[in-house]
């Protein structure tokens, strides 16, 4: 099967009397890596499961390439999903897990074994074929689960928080590995994650979701620099949201910026947002210091290369290019 | 005396423990071990108190066919029980029609609460030549009255045992299936397996230990139920329980009845051995 594009049109899902997804419309180009990003309970996993056929839509359509798959049972859709818990079959060996999808497709035994062998090599698991699944580490299980999904050469790969059960170091390694593998195979991939760093570092396109709706669809850089509204900004690490004043370089009801862009200055620089305040707290964070300062009724987080005594008066400035301007309706203002 | 105290101290340490478990040990010994050992021993003791295999030979000679019949009926029943309870438990776990699953969940347990003697009586009414089943089939035009036959033979036994034991095995099996990680089934469906393949190739292998437990307990039940063969089967051959009862009630011949009982022990012991071996293998696999 070749690589195919996915299109969702007006997809709504109700589960147990409550509306989980509201009217989702989304186009995923063939060969792209798309992340569904959002806080827990925003419906991102339900969206992924509905593509795989495990959450029947109340309305709307799911199209894979030219065909509509929304009425098909999961086994007829041809999507390949990697589950958060890996969902390996404990009664089969590693090779058994890998070859079972091929067995279902009537592939001859010799061909099955040869393909499993090639795949194990590609995943760095040569010689693991006869092992029991229970004897593998988390990272190895994850690879086998990925291999099992890839062995059928699927038109689309669905990943449900595939790295969330792993240690931070293994997670970082697998992140790069997964991305390289995806680019090499050119397979259309949709990954669910609640980790913004993971989404930013892996995806071509990020779909930001909240309360069953799509809030924003953008490339990682755009999403990071220009979140669609205040909540999206907060979720993406914009930890300062302060009221705009006359004289600020950008006119807005609310100005957002990340604390790493807010620095302490002796004199107020040009073309920057400037606030004066009293230092409440100064904490060492490894590379520098993190400050909390009180400016009128607002508390601003900022960084500094040198320690600052709590209680001292300072001037904090944010370059105009790092500012995000939000209107009174909490939406990002156009540039 | 100090020396006596020193020598009795290890015993003193375990004495309270022994005293605590003594009533339980005594009950097990008096109620289970002694009667069992007695019945085994008496199968080999003649009237004068000497050792003999005469009872065993009589048992084989007179009731050899019944022993074979019992084994075959038990195996056929277990097969039918497996197929039906796997089907029901599978539907309860994988069924996609919520109301049908709910209805089945309510219905399948009923026979659990019906005594064997009533089950035997019901089977008699239902399976006889003029019974309810044939009447229904004839009335609905599905069967020619001339071809109607009684199922009150080995088939009646198999059907009755299965009817009575299916709910029990299903109860165990459905519970085990419900605790299997659901995503393993979803992964199989995602990879292209239909519901039936999921049941047989994914779900069932993960609960085979529970199925085996259910079948072994059912086997023991089948080997010990007297009322069903008495009610359902008229002639020979019949189940061993029936013959043992016959030997004791009409001849007062405990020795041959004990010899027959020996075969029951052997059959259930084979099942117990198979079960222990399987749990040990699983345990070792888990430890590796």
Cα–Cα distance for residue pair A147/A134, rounded to 1 Å: 17
Domain range annotation of chain A: 6-233, 239-326
Picking from B217, B214, B120, the residue whose alpha carbon sits closest to that of residue B176 is B214
Q: What angle do CA A152, A153, A155 make, to 5 degrees?
A: 115
DSSP A213: E
Q: How does pLDDT run across A263-288, given as a tens digit for each residue? A: 998 888 888 999 999 999 999 999 89
Cα–Cα distance for residue pair A258/A40, rounded to 1 Å: 23
Q: At what angle do helices B116-127 and B154-178 cross, to 10 degrees?
A: 120
Mean pLDDT (chain A, rounded): 92
- B128 in the same domain as B17: no
Cα–Cα distance for residue pair B187/A148, rounded to 1 Å: 10
All residues of chain A having their beta carbon less than 8 Å from the beta carbon of residue B288 are: 132, 134-135
- B259 in the same domain as B130: yes
- B142 in the same domain as B36: no
pTM for this predicted structure: 0.82
Query: A184 vs chain B: nearest CA distance in angstroms?
Result: 22
Residue B54: inside a domain: no
Residue B75: inside a domain: yes
User: Which residues are registered as beta bridge partners of A97?
Assistant: none
Residue B103: inside a domain: yes
> Where on the phi/psi map is residue B192: left (φ > 0), alpha (ψ -120 to 50), or beta?
left
- B140 in the same domain as B80: yes
Domain A6-233: which topology? Rossmann fold (3.40.50)
Cα–Cα distance for residue pair B16/B47, rounded to 1 Å: 44
Residue B49: inside a domain: no
Q: Which two tokens stand for residue A267?
A: 């004199």
- B188 in the same domain as B118: yes
- B178 in the same domain as B91: yes
Residue B47: inside a domain: no
Per the structure, how many domains does chain B have? Answer: 2
Instruction: State the residue range of the domain holding B88.
Output: 61-287
When CB atoms are compared, the residue of A54, A80, A132 closest to B186 is A54
288 residues of chain B, pLDDT tens digit each? 444 444 556 677 788 888 999 999 999 999 999 988 988 888 888 888 888 888 889 888 989 999 999 999 999 999 999 999 999 999 999 998 889 999 999 999 999 999 999 999 999 999 988 889 989 999 998 888 888 888 888 999 999 999 999 999 999 999 999 999 999 999 999 999 999 999 999 999 999 989 999 999 999 999 989 999 988 887 778 898 988 888 899 998 888 898 888 888 888 889 888 888 888 887 776 554
Which of residues 218 through 257 in chain B touch A, CB cutoff 8 A? none
Residue B56: inside a domain: no
ipTM score of complex: 0.84
Q: Which two tokens stand for residue B35?
A: 């009667």
335 residues of chain A, pLDDT tens digit each? 568 899 999 999 998 888 999 999 999 999 999 999 999 989 999 999 999 999 999 999 999 998 999 999 999 998 999 999 999 999 999 999 999 999 999 999 999 999 999 999 988 899 999 999 999 998 899 999 999 999 998 999 999 998 888 888 888 888 888 899 899 989 999 999 999 999 999 999 999 999 999 999 999 999 999 999 999 999 999 999 999 988 888 888 999 999 999 999 888 888 899 999 999 999 999 989 999 999 989 999 999 999 999 999 999 999 999 999 999 999 999 87
- B102 in the same domain as B227: yes
Residue B126: inside a domain: yes
When CB atoms are compared, the residue of B187, B201, B206 closest to A83 is B187
- B194 in the same domain as B114: yes
- B124 in the same domain as B6: no
Residue B222: inside a domain: yes
**Whether the bond into B237 is cis, omega within 30 of 0:** yes
Query: Does the beta carbon of B89 lie under 8 angstroms from any beta carbon of chain A?
Result: no
**A205: helix, strand or coil:** strand
* Dihedral angle computed from the Cα positions of residues B221, B227, B232 and B235, in that order, rounded to the nearest 10 degrees: 100
Find out if CATH 3.40.50.150 is the number for domain A239-326. Answer: no
Q: Tell me the DSSP string of A261-278.
A: G-EEESSPPSSEEEEEEE
**Chain A CA closest to residue B194:** A75
Assign residue B267 the CATH number of its domain: 1.10.3720.10
All residues of chain B having their beta carbon less than 8 Å from the beta carbon of residue A74 are: 186, 189-190
């Amino acid at each position: 099967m070749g690589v195919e594009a996915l299109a969702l049109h007006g997809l709504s899902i109700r589960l147990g009397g409550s509306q989980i997804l509201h009217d989702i419309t989304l186009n995923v180009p063939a060969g792209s890596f798309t992340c569904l990003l959002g806080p827990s309970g925003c419906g991102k996993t339900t969206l992924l499961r509905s593509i795989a056929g495990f959450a029947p839509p109340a309305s709307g359509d799911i199209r894979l390439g030219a065909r509509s798959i929304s009425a098909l049972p999961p086994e007829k859709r041809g999507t390949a999903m990697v589950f958060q818990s890996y969902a390996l079959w404990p009664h089969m060996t590693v090779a058994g897990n890998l070859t079972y999808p091929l067995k279902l497709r009537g592939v001859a035994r010799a061909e099955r074994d040869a393909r499993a062998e090639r795949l194990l090599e590609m995943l760095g698991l040569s010689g693991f074929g006869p092992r029991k699944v229970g004897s593998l580490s988390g990272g190895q299980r994850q690879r086998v689960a990925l291999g099992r999904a890839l062995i059928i050469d699927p038109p689309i790969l669905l990943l449900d928080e595939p790295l969330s059960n792993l240690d931070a170091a293994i997670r970082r390694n697998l992140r790069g590995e997964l991305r390289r593998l995806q680019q090499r195979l050119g397979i259309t991939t949709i990954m669910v994650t609640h980790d913004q760093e993971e989404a930013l570092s892996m995806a071509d396109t990020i779909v930001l979701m909240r309360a069953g709706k799509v809030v924003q669809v953008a490339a990682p850089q755009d999403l990071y620099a220009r979140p669609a509204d205040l909540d999206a900004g907060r979720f993406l690490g914009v930890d300062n949201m302060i009221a705009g004043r006359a004289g600020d370089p950008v006119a807005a009801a609310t100005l957002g910026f990340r604390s790493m862009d807010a620095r302490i200055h002796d004199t107020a620089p040009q073309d920057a947002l400037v606030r004066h305040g009293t230092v409440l707290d100064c904490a060492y964070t490894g590379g520098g210091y993190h400050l909390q300062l009180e400016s009128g009724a607002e508390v601003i987080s900022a960084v500094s290369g040198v320690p600052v005594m709590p209680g001292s008066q300072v001037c904090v400035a944010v370059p105009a290019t790092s500012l995000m301007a939000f209107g009174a309706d909490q939406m990002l203002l156009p540039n | 005396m100090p020396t006596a105290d020193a020598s009795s101290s290890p015993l003193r340490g375990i004495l309270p423990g022994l005293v605590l478990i003594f009533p339980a040990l005594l009950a097990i010994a008096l109620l289970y071990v002694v009667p069992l050992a007695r019945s085994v021993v008496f199968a080999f003791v003649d009237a004068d108190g000497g050792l003999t295999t005469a009872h065993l030979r009589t048992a084989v000679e007179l009731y050899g066919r019944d022993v074979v019949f019992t084994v075959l009926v038990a195996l056929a029943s277990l097969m039918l029980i497996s197929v039906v309870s796997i089907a029901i438990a599978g539907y309860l776990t994988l069924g996609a029609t919520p109301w049908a699953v709910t209805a089945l969940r309510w219905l399948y347990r009923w026979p659990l609460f019906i005594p064997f003697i009533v089950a035997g009586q019901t089977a008699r009414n239902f399976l006889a030549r003029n019974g309810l089943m044939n009447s229904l089939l004839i009335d609905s035009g599905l069967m020619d009255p001339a071809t109607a036959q009684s199922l009150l033979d080995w088939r009646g036994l198999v059907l009755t045992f299965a009817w009575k034991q299916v709910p029990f095995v299903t109860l165990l099996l459905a519970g085990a299936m419900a605790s299997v990680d659901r995503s393993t089934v979803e992964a199989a469906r995602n990879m292209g397996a239909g519901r039936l393949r999921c049941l047989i190739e994914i779900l069932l292998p993960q609960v085979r230990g529970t199925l085996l437990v259910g079948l072994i307990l059912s086997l023991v039940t089948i080997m010990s139920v007297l009322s069903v063969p008495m009610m359902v089967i008229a002639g020979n051959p019949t189940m061993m329980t029936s013959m043992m009862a016959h030997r004791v009630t009409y001849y007062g011949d405990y020795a041959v009845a004990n010899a027959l009982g020996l075969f029951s022990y052997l059959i259930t012991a084979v099942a117990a051995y198979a079960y222990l071996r399987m749990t040990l293998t699983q345990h070792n696999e888990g430890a590796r």
